[in-house]
Amino acid sequence: LGIAIVLLSCIVGACIIATSFVFIFIYVICECLSWPIFEKLFSDILRRGIHRVRTATYRAIVVNYVQPLDMLEGFPESINGRLLLRQQALEKLLPPMAYGVDKHALKSSECPICLDDYVVGESCRVFPDCKHMFHLSCIDHWLKNHLTCPVCRKCI
């Protein structure tokens, strides 16, 4: 009878250990399979948060830049005055650069808006986040109505 109890205890212990290994194995497999899903979810959440921060930063820059001028000189009387202030704020965010001066010349040879080739020394704008480059006149026309990249739609 004593041997039967010891043998039964050993069998129960072995079953508990085997079950534990099965649960650990299933847990590890589930973690490995679900990690890319969680990683994508967290990166999407982070990207949306960064987008909101950039939008808030842009609005803060424009508001902080426009408000002192409005207090000193009064509100712009015409739409042209507001467009000029917006253009000045965009100049600070996206300064013009000459094509062919740095590494951006190697990445693209034509403007995605007008499809004309860039000429060395021509004024262009490069979006800081996505690195898309455009002719100065093409992108300025676009930026009058939109605050996003025309190629990938990322905010400035």
Q: Which residue has the higher pLDDT, 60 or 156?
A: 156
Q: How many domains does the chain have?
A: 2
| Alpha carbon distance 141, 38 (integer Å) | 40
Instruction: Say what the pTM is.
Output: 0.44
**pLDDT band at 118; cut points 50, 70, 90:** confident
Based on the fold, state whether residues 54 and 110 are members of the same structural domain: no
Which of residues 50, 69, 93 is at a domain's end? 93
Count Cβ atoms below 10 Å from residue 68 Cβ, excluding itself. Answer: 9
Domain extent, residue 100, equals 95-156
Based on the fold, state whether residues 83 and 104 are members of the same structural domain: no
Q: What percent of the chain has pLDDT over 90?
A: 10
| Nearest of 131, 123, 124 to residue 149 by alpha carbon | 131
Based on the fold, state whether residues 19 and 55 are members of the same structural domain: yes
Based on the fold, state whether residues 72 and 114 are members of the same structural domain: no
Which CATH number fits the domain that encloses residue 118? 3.30.40.10
